[in-house]
């Protein structure tokens, strides 16, 4: 095959060693090699128009054929044996080449036909928690400290993101400055030596530069006022000044301290001067800042805004709006910020993206009250604080989720977790079927759906099926995709029914929260997801007693969904077990089988637990002892799938200390808690009995735990 590149853009000054087109071309030629097709590269002006010869003709920005395309777009046109790839820019050309490579790999060279690619959402990003100075403490961060200082990790990760059409990488840390540079005005405000700082600088510079060479913008997002003890010492302040989550008096002193404000201004200016390839910056006016919205915004304006105004650099900026007033942020910061690329962020589904495809929190919480949001640009923060151990993937859910983001004022999204980072795989035991190194490789389908569908939500499920068929084989690929879809649908259904806003309050994969295991009483008391149309357990019990059918999605319908998933997952697991060749009991496929078995057992457990919760709710309202007896039986039977789940999990995963939730993840650790639900049900009283004999603390109800109501701040 003859490949004609654009001479004016790529050969006149010599090809860049590693720009987006170079990367895309490598992937395209590798796919040709796998298909047994040899390729030769020629200059674009050598193409004489002979379409009878197999050729690729590449054109991008600056030529009339491509000038009308939106950014990051491409057109593929097939004329006889010639393929014309017209692109809007270098990133569009890379995406077009990646598209061609993928067609060859998944369907064969002859499947290449006319097609267009244009981004559905302008920004498609990742929220990556930097393990040094993260917001929470736990194994996901501590066990990835070495990984994130490895340039090879970042090369693989950023290439992976580019292949999946991501164009934004946000790196989050309470305060990363102390390991990124030495502030000239405050040289002692870092615990690191010059040698260490140079090592770190090399890593950060590689991240920002390599991302740029893959068409990925990089943002550094901080928790505004946070400083470390080393920074406090370097500024000549007491170390106690840096204690996070301390009393409001100390936080107020930190907020008003002129030295700290000046440190931040100098750090931001040093950051911009040190890393010219860093694309953007971000912070918020909440967390440990105290006062009303105007008072907290004043601190952000006096530090971040003032520093960038002094440099007069129009650095793109993301202003987070959690716990704050969007109108105030717009008036005091956004409208005064230099440059055009300035975004306000909003938590689209709070901490639980795997719930409902059309979350309504913007409207319910008055996100843009008293402001014309059409005059602003919003980026959604999307958080999967739902599952991080078991693989999960549901293209149809994600496609609908992405479509819901298409609004005139929305630029796009970035997704991730607050208590996790998909970097080194620290959870998996060194099992023979571990063929991957990094966590994002194990969860590649989840990353692929969010990135690819963010670019084009009309990409059909069949595409991801082809990916699975190529990876796992003709029979097994279909089963793997179906199993992972059903697992996600269980999480979504359970979370819609049992809604608590934030990660530390509810982690559905483990049935855990900061104060421990969620009991059957929690399932009775906790409401459904606001705005979802789902009806919670107690309200469903009232409907039952009124004789109302389950036309809406109430707890009865959720039980049906989760129970159906459990039974179909059992069939999928059995079929997959039979389909795997006897001599092939290792590799990624064997691990997928165990994950699907785990999803089956978790679904079976939740089916029984929710049914028991509903029966107990009916009992609490009516005093029907038969419902109580049925619930005791359901909860007794729920112990079996949980015990089996613990066995399946322990066969190839290790326990870990969860960040934010601050509990040990591991199903076997909580079998006694599962059994305790039986005792709880046996001792259950009716609401009338409880009213007549109130106890100081209810039997485990969510509202009885005031510390569970702490606000989420990130």
pLDDT score at 286: 80
Residue 168: φ, ψ to 5°: -150, 130
* Residue 193: exposure state from Cβ atoms within 10 A (0-12, 13-18, ≥19): exposed
CATH number where 172 lies: 3.20.20.80
- Three-class HEC string of 412-467: EEEEECCCCCCCECCCECCCCCCCCCEHHHHCHHHHHHHHHHHHCCCCCHHHHHHH
- For CA atoms 264, 269, 273, 275, the dihedral sign is positive
- The whole-number pLDDT of residue 290 equals 86
Is pLDDT above 90 for 425? yes
d(CA 291, CA 303) in angstroms, rounded, equals 17
Residue 685 in any domain: the answer is no
Is the same domain home to 63 and 154? no
- 568-593: pLDDT as tens digits: 999 999 999 999 987 666 789 999 99
pLDDT category at 275 given cuts 50, 70, 90 is: very high
Note the pLDDT of residue 274. Answer: 98
pLDDT value, residue 462: 98
Residue 593 lies in a domain: no
Least confident of 56-60, 341-345, 631-635: 56-60
Same domain, 169 and 200: yes
Q: Is the pLDDT of residue 696 over 60?
A: no
* Tens-digit pLDDT profile for residues 120-150: 999 999 999 999 987 778 999 999 999 999 9
Four-residue CA torsion sign, 234, 240, 244, 248: negative
What is the rounded CA–CA span in Å between residue 521 and residue 505? 15
pLDDT at 709: 36
Residue 713 has pLDDT above 50, yes or no: no
pLDDT at 602: 99
The two structure tokens encoding residue 103: 């067609």
Query: How confident is residue 433, by pLDDT bands cut at 50, 70 and 90?
Result: confident
264 falls in which pLDDT band (50, 70, 90)?
A: very high
76-89 pLDDT tens trace: 999 999 999 999 99
Percent of residues, the chain, with pLDDT higher than 70: 93
* pLDDT confidence bin for 323, thresholds 50/70/90: low
Span 213-260, pLDDT tens digits: 999 999 999 988 889 999 999 999 998 888 776 666 677 778 889 999
My answer on whether 361 and 217 are in the same domain is: yes
User: How far, in Å, are 284, 316, 323, 373 from residue 326 at the CA level?
Assistant: 11, 18, 9, 9
Q: Average pLDDT in the 375-395 region?
A: 96
Q: What is the mean pLDDT of the chain?
A: 92
**Antiparallel, parallel or unpaired: β 317-320 and 342-351:** parallel
pLDDT in tens, 535-577: 999 999 999 999 998 788 999 999 999 999 999 999 999 999 9
Apex 316 CA angle, 311 and 319, nearest 5 = 105
In a domain, 478, yes or no: no
Q: How far apart are CA 100 and CA 87, in angstroms?
A: 13
Q: What is the DSSP string of 538-557?
A: HHHHHHHHTT----SS-HHH
Nearest C-alpha neighbor of 310 from the set 181, 177, 185: 185
Residue 672 token pair = 């006694």
Above 50 in pLDDT, residue 711? no
pLDDT of residue 658: 95
Residue whose C-alpha is closest to residue 390's, from 28, 645, 123, 689:
645
The answer to whether 124 touches 454, Cβ cutoff 8 Å, is yes
Of 76, 102, 117, which residue constitutes the final position of a domain? 117
Average pLDDT over residues 310-320: 94
Same domain, 178 and 258: yes
Domain C-terminal end among 460, 482, 500? 460
Give pLDDT, residue 10.
Answer: 46
Is 519 inside a domain boundary?
A: no
**Alpha carbon distance 528, 338 (integer Å):** 43
Answer whether residue 470 is part of any domain: no
Residue 508 lies in a domain: no
CATH number at residue 74: 3.30.379.10
My answer on whether 295 and 181 are in the same domain is yes
Q: Are residues 216 and 362 in the same domain?
A: yes
Q: What is the pLDDT of residues 146-192, one digit of tens each?
A: 999 999 999 999 999 999 999 999 999 999 999 999 999 999 999 99
What percent of the chain has a predicted confidence (pLDDT) above 90?
79
Residue 368, in any domain of the structure: yes
Report the pLDDT averaged over residues 519-525: 97
Q: Count of domains in the chain?
A: 2
pLDDT for the residue 706: 33
Report whether pLDDT(507) > 80.
yes
Residue 161 and residue 80 share a domain: no
Average pLDDT for residues 508-513, to the nearest whole number?
97
Give the range of the structural domain holding residue 111, as residue numbers without chain letter: 2-117
* Mean pLDDT in residue range 315-327: 82
| Residues 274, 354 within the same domain | yes
* Partner residues linked to 383 by β-bridges: 416
Give the pLDDT score at 669. Answer: 97
pLDDT at position 397: 99
Q: Report the Cα–Cα distance between both ends of the chain, in Å, rounded.
A: 51
Whether 321 and 344 share a structural domain: yes
- Encoded tokens for 37: 């097709």
pLDDT at 340 over 90: no
Residue 349: its pLDDT value, please? 96
- Is the pLDDT score of 708 beyond 50? no
**pLDDT-wise least confident of 156-170, 218-232, 411-425, 629-643:** 218-232
Question: 100 and 35, same structural domain?
Answer: yes
Of the residues 93, 117, 141, the one at which a domain ends: 117
- What SS3 class is residue 661? coil
Residue 557 lies in a domain: no
Per-residue pLDDT at 704 exceeds 50: no
Q: Do 319 and 201 fall within a single domain? A: yes
Instruction: Report which of residues 257 and 710 the model is more confident about.
Output: 257
Same domain, yes or no, for 192 and 309? yes
Token readout for 18 is 């590693």
Q: What's the CA gap between 181 and 420, in Å, rounded?
A: 26
């Amino acid at each position: 095959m003859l490949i004609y590149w654009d001479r004016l853009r790529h050969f006149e000054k010599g090809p860049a060693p590693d720009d987006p087109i170079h990367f895309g071309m490598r992937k395209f030629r590798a796919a040709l090699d796998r298909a047994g097709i040899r390729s030769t590269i020629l200059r674009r002006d050598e193409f004489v128009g002979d379409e009878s010869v197999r050729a690729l003709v590449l054109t991008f920005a600056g030529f009339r054929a491509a000038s009308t395309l939106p950014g990051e777009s491409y057109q593929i046109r097939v004329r006889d044996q010639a393929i014309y790839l017209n692109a809007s820019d270098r990133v569009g050309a890379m995406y077009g080449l990646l598209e061609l490579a993928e067609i060859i790999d998944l369907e064969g060279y002859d499947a290449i036909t006319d097609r267009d690619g244009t981004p559905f959402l302008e920004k498609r990003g990742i929220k990556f928690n930097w393990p040094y100075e993260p917001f929470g403490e736990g194994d996901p961060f501590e066990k990835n400290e070495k990984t994130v200082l490895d340039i090879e990790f970042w090369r693989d990760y950023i290439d992976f993101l580019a292949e999946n059409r991501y164009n934004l990488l946000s790196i989050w840390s309470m305060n990363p400055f102390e390991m990124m540079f030495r502030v000239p005005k405050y040289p002692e405000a870092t615990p690191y030596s010059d040698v260490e700082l140079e090592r770190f600088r090399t890593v950060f510079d590689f991240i920002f530069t390599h991302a740029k060479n893959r068409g990925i913008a990089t943002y550094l997002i901080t928790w505004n006022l946070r400083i470390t003890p080393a920074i406090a010492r370097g500024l000549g302040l007491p170390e106690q000044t840096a204690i996070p989550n301390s009393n409001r008096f100390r936080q107020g002193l930190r907020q008003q301290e002129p030295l700290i404000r000046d440190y931040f201004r100098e750090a931001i200016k040093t950051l911009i001067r040190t890393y010219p390839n860093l694309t953007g910056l971000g912070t918020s006016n909440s967390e440990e800042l105290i006062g009303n919205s105007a008072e907290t915004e004043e601190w952000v304006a006096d530090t971040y805004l003032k520093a960038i105004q002094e440099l007069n650099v129009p650095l793109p900026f993301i202003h987070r709006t959690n716990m704050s007033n969007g109108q105030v942020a717009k008036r005091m910061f956004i409208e005064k910020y230099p440059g055009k690329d300035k975004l306000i962020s909003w938590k689209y589904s709070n901490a639980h993206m795997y719930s409902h495809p059309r979350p309504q929190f913007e409207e319910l919480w008055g996100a843009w009250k008293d402001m014309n949001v059409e005059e602003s640009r919003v980026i959604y923060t999307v958080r999967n604080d739902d599952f991080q151990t078991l693989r999960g993937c549901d293209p149809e859910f994600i496609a609908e989720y992405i479509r819901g983001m298409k609004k005139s004022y929305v630029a796009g999204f970035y997704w991730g977790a607050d208590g996790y980072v998909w970097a080194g795989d620290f959870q998996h035991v060194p099992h023979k079927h571990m063929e991957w190194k990094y966590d994002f490789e194990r969860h590649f389908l989840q990353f692929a759906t969010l990135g690819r569908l963010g670019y084009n939500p009309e990409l059909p499920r069949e595409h991801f099926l082809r990916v699975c068929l190529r990876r796992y084989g003709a029979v097994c690929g279909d089963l793997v995709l179906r199993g992972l879809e059903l697992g996600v649908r269980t999480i979504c259904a359970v979370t819609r029914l049992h809604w608590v806003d934030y990660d530390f309050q509810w982690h559905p994969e483990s049935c855990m929260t900061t104060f421990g295991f969620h009991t059957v009483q929690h399932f009775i008391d906790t409401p459904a997801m606001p705005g979802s149309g789902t009806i919670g357990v107690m309200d469903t019990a009232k409907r039952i007693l009124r004789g109302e059918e389950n036309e809406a999605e109430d707890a009865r319908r959720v039980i049906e969904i989760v129970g159906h998933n459990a039974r179909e997952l059992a069939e999928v697991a059995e079929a997959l077990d039979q389909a795997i060749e006897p001599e092939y009991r290792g590799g990624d496929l064997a691990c997928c089988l165990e994950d699907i078995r785990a999803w089956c057992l978790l679904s079976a457990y939740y089916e029984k637990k929710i049914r028991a919760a509903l029966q107990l709710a009916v009992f609490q309202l009516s005093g029907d002892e038969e419902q109580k007896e049925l619930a005791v039986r359901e909860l007794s039977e729920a112990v079996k799938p949980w015990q089996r789940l613990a066995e399946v999990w322990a066969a190839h995963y290790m326990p870990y200390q969860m960040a934010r939730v601050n509990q040990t993840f591991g199903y076997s650790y909580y079998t006694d808690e599962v059994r305790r639900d039986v005792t709880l049900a046996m001792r259950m009283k009716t609401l009338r009995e409880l009213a007549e004999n109130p106890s100081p603390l209810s039997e485990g109800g969510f509202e009885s735990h005031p510390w569970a109501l702490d606000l989420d701040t990130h």
